[in-house]
Amino acid sequence: MPDPHGSLYTNSSCSTIPSSKNCFRHGRKNKEFLNWRWKPHDCVLPRFDPQIFLEFVHGKKLAFIGDLVARNHMESLLCLLSKVESPIDRYKDSEDRNRIWYFPDHEFTLMILWTKFLVHGEERVINGSSSGIFYLHLHKVDEKWSKDLPAIDYIIISDAHWFFQTIYL
């Protein structure tokens, strides 16, 4: 639905948005998309208030678990929360897949735990080469993210890879 107030942040106003995802920096001219907001059918959602959110999650840890879709969701929330408090970048792995941000005034931790399939996956090797075909073990959760579960208060699971895999029987 059209939103006359516009977005709570833009690529220009968010200090935490990665350069690689800054649409305006890479030449996007159209800005009309900033004046739209999602509206579910038969539901009125109040405008997101980052201050109220940070008060609600005071002292907690929230993790987005999944692939690049989860990462995009986490980065959007990070931009919104950064309007209230500048987070501290606490951790970034060598591939920049797992990341932890800390908001000291609210003792709140926001993280992304990257996983390709949520469950344990093994790539099928054909003649010594990667095939892009994975055996998914639905009875085993991926330990790369599940080992951190006991320390997390809230999780949001989002994983686009599930929808784009060819099924081999």
The answer on pLDDT for 31 being more than 80 is no
Half-sphere exposure of 89 (CA within 13 A, CB side): 10
- The CA distance from 73 to 46, in Å, is 19
Q: Cβ–Cβ contacts within 10 Å for residue 100, how many?
A: 18
Q: What is the pLDDT of residues 108-166, one digit of tens each?
A: 999 999 888 888 888 888 888 888 888 888 889 888 888 889 999 999 998 776 666 66
At 11, the pLDDT band (50, 70, 90 cuts) reads low
The answer on pLDDT for 169 being more than 60 is no
> Measured on CA atoms in the order 97, 103, 109, 110, is the torsion positive or negative?
negative
**What percentage of the chain carries pLDDT values higher than 90?**
31
Q: What is the DSSP letter of 68?
A: H
161, 142 in Cβ contact below 8 A?
Answer: no
Which range among 32-36, 44-48, 114-118 shows the weakest confidence by mean pLDDT? 32-36
Half-sphere exposure of 143 (CA within 13 A, CB side): 1
Long-range contact set of residues 122-128: C-beta below 8 Å, sequence gap at least 24 = none
- The CA distance from 30 to 50, in Å, is 26
- The CA distance from 68 to 160, in Å, is 8
The answer on pLDDT for 6 being more than 70 is no
Token reading at 117? 């399939």
Residue 162: predicted pLDDT? 63
The answer on pLDDT for 23 being more than 80 is no
At 85, the pLDDT band (50, 70, 90 cuts) reads very high
Q: What is the pLDDT of residues 53-63, one digit of tens each?
A: 999 999 999 99
Residue 110: predicted pLDDT? 97
